[in-house]
Copies of this chain bind each other. A is one copy, B any other.
Amino acid sequence: MAVRLDEIVARLGGQLVGDGGIRVTGLATLESAGPEQISFLSNPKYRSQLATTRAAAVIVDASVAVECPAAAIVTPQPYLYFARLSQWIGAQPRPVAGVHATAAVEGDVPASASIGANACIAKDARIGRNVVIEANCSIGPEAEIGDDSWLHANVSVYAGCRIGKRTIVHSGAVIGSDGFGFARESDGSWIKIEQTGRVLVGDDVEIGANTTIDRGALGDTVIEDGVKLDNQIQVAHNVRIGAHSAMAGCVGVAGSATIGRRCTVGGGAIILGHLQIADDVHVSAGTLVAKSIPEAGSYTGTVPFMEHAAWLKNFARLRHLDAMADRIRALETRLAALEEGKKS
């Protein structure tokens, strides 16, 4: 698809500097762009690449527009502009509507939906308009998938779960598996507590590949509108994740944790169960959150890495940190006594 720069500006705004008749066919970095591609400059770190780019056009802010050797679209937030443009000229082609001959469909599927090969739509499942369900997905009984959502291949949605509109679910994700709930017998064995809740996923959510979201034990697990979950995230039963929060890969959220709106959680972080995390909290990658966080802010709890030999020397001391603190206190007491003696 070739798009003219004046068409872009007409649709997305911004100020065009250069020939509106120039056509672009794709997106690229400043460094790799060819003469039919459009690029952007957002991070000042890449500013030096602007002078030598071969891009047909560059999305820039006003401060660097004069340096642009190609056509420029000037906008206060080039990255955001680029994101919107990517959805227009970089979107993956949507599979055609219709149900593949090998799909096993018992639920309700509108003509505008696309159901891939060997996908299964169970009884009483409801599929919205323009939904894409790719190959080998399994949609359980009474599950609902909202209009314009897209489930990639091999997604599993359990019975009764609901996914909102315009939500994207990547391959291997599992929505609605049983929460991890057991009562313990006196002999140490475990008695399963049936998980009778659902997973409710809002609109405009993205769920990464192989991410898992458990159904509630009693009551539901809730992913609010606009939440973005990366790959391999585990969300346990009865968790609530507030609107527009985003989590990077490999995060684990334990049962009944409540996470506020607009939070960000770095990769591999773990949030323990029954905690409350306020709105606008940012948790660094690799951090174990073991207490509630009642105030917005950035929180971290990770250790530096170092050469293995240096690590051995330094980190062995952690076993004796309490003793070190005692020794410092003893030194302070003894030194004070000496100082006192000297005065007298």
Contact = CB atoms under 8 A, between A and B. Distances in A.
Given A120-B116, A209-B177, A138 B171 contact: yes
A144 interface: no
A319 B26 CA distance: 47
A147 interface: no
Contact of A189 (B172, B244, B289): B244
A307 B218 CA distance: 34
A96 to B, nearest CB: 11
B270 A286 contact: yes
Protomer copies:
3
A15 B244 CA distance: 49
Contacts of A118: 102, 104, 117-118, 120, 136
A317 interface: yes
Contacts of A189: 204, 226, 244
Given A136-B118, A159-B92, A304 B318 contact: yes
Interface in A260-319: 261-262, 267-268, 270, 272, 280, 283-291, 297-308, 310-319
Contacts of A210: 172, 174, 210, 212, 232
A66 interface: no
Most chain B beta carbons < 10 A, residue from A101, A204, A226, A230:
A230
A307 B298 contact: yes
Contact of A172 (B174, B254, B316, B327): B174
Interface in A82-117: 82-84, 86-87, 90-92, 100-102, 104, 116-117
19 contacts: A87-B191, A140-B153, A152-B158, A154-B172, A156-B171, A177-B231, A188-B261, A190-B244, A234-B267, A288-B302, A288-B305, A290-B302, A297-B307, A299-B305, A299-B308, A299-B311, A315-B318, A315-B321, A324-B328
Interface of A: 26-29, 32, 77, 79-80, 82-84, 86-87, 90-92, 100-102, 104, 116-118, 120, 122, 134-138, 140, 152-154, 156, 158-159, 168, 170-172, 174, 177-178, 180, 182-185, 187-194, 196, 204, 206, 208-210, 212, 214, 218-219, 226, 228, 230-232, 234, 236, 244, 246, 248-250, 252, 254, 261-262, 267-268, 270, 272, 280, 283-291, 297-308, 310-322, 324-325, 327-328, 331-332, 334-335, 338-339, 341-342
